[in-house]
Structure 1
Amino acid sequence: MSASGSNPTLVLVVAVGVVVACGVNLLLERSLSRILLGVILLGNGVNLLILLGGRSGAAPVVGTAPEDRMSDPLPQAMVLTSIVITFGLTAFLLAVSYRSWYLTGDDEVPDDQEDRQIIRLAERDESVTADLGGEGPNGDPEQVDPEPARRRLRRGDGVG
């Protein structure tokens, strides 16, 4: 904070901008580990921005200082909530990244068929309104089978 204690310095504002910009840049990558780091950086940058919006001063406990010299407790509570939300999102992305690496051996996010089709149409400056895949309603390999897999009965499962 500045010498008067009321406004943030330019250095802190620039630091928040750099952290948020690095986080957004990492979010645009195709690697899940870089996306995870981008979420962490973006969350920390937003937390710093929220803290810079509050008034600095003494601890916001009644009786420890005059009320006009206490810090604003609302940004502190918002940052604590944001830390918990960022931690939960980080844990989720870490689980998704690990699962992707475990199944495919890579944490790269692959392109979908629709992504490739949109890129081709954008290169030709066209737009599409219908699915041009041609596979029909039951032939789409990306759709999940709606029927559950049949369970094989083993000896001792109650069938005698």
Structure 2
Amino acid sequence: MAKDRVCIYGGSYGGSYGGYAALMGVIKEPDLFQCAVSFAGVYDLNLKFDKGDFLENNWSEASLVKIMGDNEKFLAQKSPVNLVEKIKVPLFLSHGTKDERVPFEHYEKLVVALKKNRIEYESLVLKGEAHGFQNSKNGIKFYKKVLEFLDDVFEL
């Protein structure tokens, strides 16, 4: 595969790291990837302590602190929502409006930051969808849109 045709993709079906990693990949390595696809990503690390079902499902605040720390300033510095100005590649984002693991507020905050910084993106909001694809039709819709996005980025 040619190095000029590499896109990073991260989806979140459990711990929600994949969507976060996709955006942090293009933030930390702006010349490595030609695009990014993020599904149900955690975009504001501080929000993990306030919203979502992490603290209700086999997680405690202590385990989150052990994994991520609790320094709000540090977490803000590691949150994609605060680093969007470093994004230089096409983005495709998707999120379910009924996601309880990574609430839709993560997506909304990221979109505000992208617009404020005039960064273009494509997105697919899945109305009524939870974390992952509870409705297989939404999964099909998502992957069709991802393929269209990749076709556009790489002019296939």
TM-score band by shorter chain is under 0.3
**Which of the two has higher C-alpha Rg?**
1
Higher RCO, Cα 8 Å, sep 6+: 2
Relative to the length of structure 2, the TM-score reads: 0.25
